[in-house]
Amino acid sequence: MSIKNWPESERPREKLLTRGAEALSDAELLAIFLRTGIPGRSAVELARDLLTRFGGLRGLLDCSHKQFCTAPGMGSAKYAQLRAATELTRRYLEAGLNRQAVFASPEETRRYLSSRLRHCQREEFVCLFLDNQHQLIACETLFQGTINRASVHPREVVKRALALNAAALIVAHNHPSGCAEPSTGDIDLTRTLKSALDLVDVRLLDHMVVGDLSITSLAERGQMQ
């Protein structure tokens, strides 16, 4: 049955307008993005098919252009729209950080880091460079690959902090496994970075580990020393 023939309260678009986006399932939100289904499948059914095919939202958002286009009814135009929507979300959250001191809204910082790192298929090491008021100067990915003391060079972090005249940093990296539990190597790296930054009077405020469903703060755990 076409969505047009569904009761109005069950149609995804009308449901969003009356109850808010948070009331919709992943499939219903995706159906609004898709707009139309394919012969024999409504937009909601097609959305469910896609989520099943790619193992959920993360798999769908992480898939390559080629993989996406193998799904029935999907093509380059839809893939471009999906990537654009994802990037708009990231930029929206980054703009929120630019309007205020980062530490004034730790939850907003977490949302931004999650949007930037959660879907990465390999580890990325990101630095939030802050001024004396903890306003964001820049957010940059400095290293990619396996994040450990051998691959993250404190000298490069210090060099970039001085170039940007940063007074403080928050660093973060993701675990593609989805687990936000810091490893022994993560803790050792944090302490090495903090020692290097202390030498040039730049404060390392936190190191956050981003997983699928949560973010772990080493500062909150008392593991920065």
Q: What is the DSSP secondary-structure string of the chain?
A: --GGGS-GGGSHHHHHHHH-GGGS-HHHHHHHHH---BTTB-HHHHHHHHHHHHTSHHHHHH--HHHHHTSTT--HHHHHHHHHHHHHHHHHHHHHHHTSBGGG-HHHHHHHHHHHHTT-SS-EEEEEEE-TT-BEEEEEEEEESS-STTTS-HHHHHHHHHHTT-SEEEEEEE-TTS--PPPHHHHHHHHHHHHHHHTTT-EEEEEEEE-SS-EEETTTTT---
Residue range 182-204: mean pLDDT, rounded: 94
Is the model more confident about 89 or about 53?
53
Other CB atoms closer than 10 Å to residue 206's CB: what's the count? 21
Least confident range of 22-31, 49-58, 100-109: 100-109
Residue range 50-75: mean pLDDT, rounded: 90
Domain 101-217 has CATH 3.40.140.10: yes
pLDDT digits (tens, 9 = 90+) for 4-15: 767 777 888 898
Tokens of 124: 């990325």
pLDDT digits (tens, 9 = 90+) for 122-181: 889 999 999 998 888 988 999 887 755 547 889 999 999 999 999 999 999 999 888 899
Is the model more confident about 197 or about 13?
197
- pLDDT number for residue 152: 82
- For the chain, the structural domain boundaries read 3-74, 101-217
Residue range 34-60: mean pLDDT, rounded: 89
Tell me: pLDDT of 200 over 80.
Answer: yes
pLDDT digits (tens, 9 = 90+) for 65-114: 999 999 998 999 999 998 898 888 878 777 766 655 665 667 778 888 88
Distance CA 61, CA 29 (A): 14
Distance CA 72, CA 184 (A): 44
